[in-house]
Amino acid sequence: MSVPVSGLSVSERALLRVDTVVGKYRIVRLIGVGGMAAVYAATHRNGHRVAIKFLLERHADDPEILQLFRREAYAANRVGHPGAVPVLDDDEDENGCAFLVMPLLQGETVRALWDRENKRLPVSDVGVLMADVLAVLASAHANGVVHRDIKPDNLFITTRADVRVLDFGIARRIDVDSAHTLTGRLVGTPAFMPPEQALGDRAAVGPGSDLWAVGATIFALLSGEFVHVTDNAMAQFAAAATRHARSLAAAAPGLPASVVDFVDKSLAFDPKDRWQSAVEMRDALLATFELALGEPVSIVAPRVRERLAVPPSSELDETLAKGVASTGPKPAPQPSEPKPAGQSTGLKPVARAHEAIPEVPVAFGALSYPDPPRSLREDVGGATFPRVIRRLDSRLEVRTAGRHFAEAFRLSPGIIHRLLVKHGLGRFASDGRFMLDLRTWWPMDAYTATVHEISEAIGPAKMVEIGKLVAKLAVVPPTMHDLRTTLAAIDAAYHLNHRKDGVVMFDMKTGRMLDGIGHAHYLGDVGKKRIAMEWDGPYPCDMDRGILLGFARLFEPASFIEHSPDECRKEGAPSCIYYVSW
424 and 485 co-located in one domain: no
Q: Is residue 504 part of a domain?
A: no
Q: With contact defined as beta carbons under 8 Å apart, do 16 and 54 qualify? A: no
The per-residue pLDDT for range 370-408, each reduced to its tens digit, is 332 222 222 222 222 222 233 456 677 777 654 555 555
Instruction: Pick the more confident residue, 275 or 380.
Output: 275
Q: With contact defined as beta carbons under 8 Å apart, do 108 and 318 qualify? A: yes
A 10 A CB-CB count for 558 gives 11
Q: Is residue 254 part of a domain?
A: yes
Residue 177 buriedness (CB in 10 A; 0-12 / 13-18 / 19+): exposed
Looking at residue 168, its amino acid is F
CATH number at residue 351: 3.90.1520.10
547 and 441 co-located in one domain: no
Task: Work out the average pLDDT over 482-497.
Answer: 84
Q: Residue 566 CA to chain centroid, in angstroms?
A: 9
pLDDT of 511 higher than 50: yes
Q: With contact defined as beta carbons under 8 Å apart, do 557 and 538 qualify? A: no
Map residue 366 onto helix, strand or coil. coil
Instruction: Pick the more confident residue, 18 or 524.
Output: 18
As a whole number, the mean pLDDT across the chain is 75
Instruction: Pick the more confident residue, 432 or 364.
Output: 432
240 and 387 co-located in one domain: no
457 and 485 co-located in one domain: no
Share of the chain above pLDDT 70, in %: 75
132 and 226 co-located in one domain: yes
Q: What's the pLDDT at 181? A: 36
Q: Is residue 467 part of a domain?
A: no
Pairing assessment for the beta strands 427-428 and 21-22 based on DSSP bridges: unpaired
300 and 354 co-located in one domain: no
pLDDT of 410 higher than 60: no
pTM, whole model, 2 decimals? 0.54
478 and 457 co-located in one domain: no
The structural domain count of the chain equals 3
3-state helix vs strand vs coil in the chain, percent to 5: 40, 15, 45
209 and 305 co-located in one domain: yes
Q: Is residue 469 part of a domain?
A: no
437 and 495 co-located in one domain: no
347 and 293 co-located in one domain: no
pLDDT of 42 higher than 70: yes
428 and 549 co-located in one domain: no
Q: Is residue 378 part of a domain?
A: yes
pLDDT of 3 higher than 60: no
196 and 149 co-located in one domain: yes
Q: Is residue 105 part of a domain?
A: yes
Q: Is residue 330 part of a domain?
A: no
CATH number at residue 289: 1.10.510.10
The per-residue pLDDT for range 181-220, each reduced to its tens digit, is 333 445 567 889 899 888 887 788 889 999 999 999 999 9
Give the domain range for residue 235. 5-319
The per-residue pLDDT for range 46-90, each reduced to its tens digit, is 888 899 999 887 777 777 777 777 766 677 778 878 888 888 888
What are residue 420's phi and psi, to 5 degrees?
-60, -40
Q: Is residue 125 part of a domain?
A: yes
Q: With contact defined as beta carbons under 8 Å apart, do 146 and 206 qualify? A: yes
